């Protein structure tokens, strides 16, 4: 099975090469030249079979021309590439493995079959998709014969009875592996980890507001389904956000380490602290009571109540001048 399930290395990242528009093409053009549907091409990118690079003009990622040439020159192209990115659902996957759909679902819930994609159908049910090549590999492995033909071991049956379902978590692990491969610097890698945590967890780990703001600049696009606020969108949000306590702890630890690495490499930008120079002209008159203005908040009192002495002194001087 894939190594991008539960484990990953935040610090690992390949070298990225810049590109220009003259030597690269859009994803849509690359998919057409490789003979793939757009969904197949996107999956090929996720799996690392097609390399992409940042657009120097800031228009998203692009595919270098020499990468298209490399893929087209590979043995078995295009059939081998299409077979590598073929994704199937439960029914077709069960047929490939020669098992019932019920057994297939049990194996997936136990984390033995790792989904590569998902979507929410019109009945608001989650449909998981798996790589056909991985399912065939699982079937041909002699160590899995008992799982495919025999009775499910008692310990595994108990876990299933307790509601175990590792499909969302394994998808998140695999998706994080993709995001880390696409990250171009240390802040982007930290943002990839943060994308699987909810806002409260991120604020608890990254306490500096300037660092949180900098993280948001690199946050990858969320996997969404349906219109915002719809049941389908809420269900997808639950899947893409870590919920298991041990998974959350693991991601929090990775996020703290990734932010520390990014901070050492390039601190998050923050406002300048030097004073603003006074324009030329006469010196300003000294103020009698120069007090710092407290930040506005729930404990902030009205301005008149904070400076009674100053206001009464001002009215007193006015009365003396009038008399």
Separation in Å, CA 257 to CA 37, 179, 186: 38, 17, 11
Q: How far apart are CA 48 and CA 60, in angstroms?
A: 17
Nearest to 1 by CA among 89, 114, 81: 114
Beta bridge partners of 127: 119
**Measured at the alpha carbon of residue 21, what is the angle toward residues 16 and 26, in degrees to the nearest 5?**
80
What confidence tens digit (pLDDT) does each residue in 269-320 have? Answer: 998 876 555 555 555 555 444 444 444 444 444 444 444 444 444 444 434 4
Q: How far apart are CA 265 and CA 261, in angstroms?
A: 6
Q: How far apart are CA 181 and CA 49, in angstroms?
A: 12
Q: What's the whole-model pTM score?
A: 0.77
Q: How far apart are CA 110 and CA 128, in angstroms?
A: 14
Percent of the chain with pLDDT over 90: 70
Q: How far apart are CA 194 and CA 186, in angstroms?
A: 13
46: part of which helix (H) or strand (E)? Answer: helix 38-46
In this prediction, residue 57 carries a pLDDT of 78
- The answer on pLDDT for 3 being more than 50 is no
Which are the contacts of 214, defined by CB distance < 8 A and separation ≥ 6?
Answer: 187, 268, 269
Q: How far apart are CA 197 and CA 249, in angstroms?
A: 10
In this prediction, residue 226 carries a pLDDT of 84
Give all strands (DSSP E) within the chain, no chain letters.
Answer: 24-25, 53-54, 61-64, 87-88, 117-120, 126-131
Q: What is the mean pLDDT of the chain?
A: 84
Q: How far apart are CA 34 and CA 72, in angstroms?
A: 7
Percent of the chain with pLDDT over 70: 78
In this prediction, residue 51 carries a pLDDT of 95
Q: How far apart are CA 183 and CA 190, in angstroms?
A: 9
Domain boundaries in the chain? 87-168, 185-268
- The answer on pLDDT for 86 being more than 60 is yes
Nearest to 238 by CA among 249, 256, 226: 226
Three-state SS at 299: coil
Among the ranges given (44-58, 131-145, 201-215, 268-282), the one the predictor scored with the smallest mean pLDDT: 268-282
In this prediction, residue 84 carries a pLDDT of 97
Q: How far apart are CA 165 and CA 83, in angstroms?
A: 28
Other CB atoms within a 10 A radius of the CB of residue 55 amount to: 16
Helix, strand, coil percentages in the chain from 3-state DSSP, rounded to 5:
50, 5, 40
Q: How far apart are CA 199 and CA 191, in angstroms?
A: 12
């Amino acid at each position: 099975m894939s190594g991008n399930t539960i484990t990953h290395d935040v610090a690992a990242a390949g070298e990225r090469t810049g590109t220009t528009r003259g030597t690269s093409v859009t994803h849509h053009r690359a998919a057409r030249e490789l003979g793939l549907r757009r969904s197949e091409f996107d999956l090929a990118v996720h799996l690392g079979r097609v390399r992409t690079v940042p657009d120097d003009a800031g228009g998203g990622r692009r595919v270098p021309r020499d990468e298209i040439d490399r893929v087209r020159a590979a043995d078995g192209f295009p059939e081998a590439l299409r077979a590598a990115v073929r994704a199937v659902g439960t029914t077709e996957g069960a047929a490939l493995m020669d098992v019932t759909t019920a057994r297939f679902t049990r194996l997936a819930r136990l984390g033995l079959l790792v989904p590569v994609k998902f979507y929410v159908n019109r009945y608001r049910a989650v449909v998981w998709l798996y790589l056909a090549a991985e399912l065939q590999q699982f079937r041909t492995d002699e160590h899995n014969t008992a799982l495919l033909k025999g009775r499910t071991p008692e310990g595994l049956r108990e876990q299933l009875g307790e509601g175990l379902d590792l499909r969302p978590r394994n998808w998140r692990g695999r998706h994080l592996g993709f995001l880390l491969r696409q990250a171009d610097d240390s802040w982007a890698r930290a943002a990839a980890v943060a994308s699987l945590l909810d806002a409260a967890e991120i604020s608890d780990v990254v306490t500096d507001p300037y660092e949180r703001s900098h993280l948001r600049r690199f946050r990858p696009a969320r996997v969404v389904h349906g219109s915002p606020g719809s049941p389908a969108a809420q269900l997808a949000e639950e899947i893409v956000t870590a919920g298991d306590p041990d998974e959350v702890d693991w991601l929090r630890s990775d996020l703290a380490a990734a932010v520390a690495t990014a901070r050492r490499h390039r601190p998050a930008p923050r406002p300048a602290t030097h004073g603003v120079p006074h324009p030329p002209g006469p010196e300003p008159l000294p103020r009698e009571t120069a007090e710092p203005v407290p930040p506005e908040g729930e404990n902030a009192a009205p301005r008149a109540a904070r400076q009674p002495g100053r206001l009464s002194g001002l009215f007193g001087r006015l009365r003396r001048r009038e008399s």
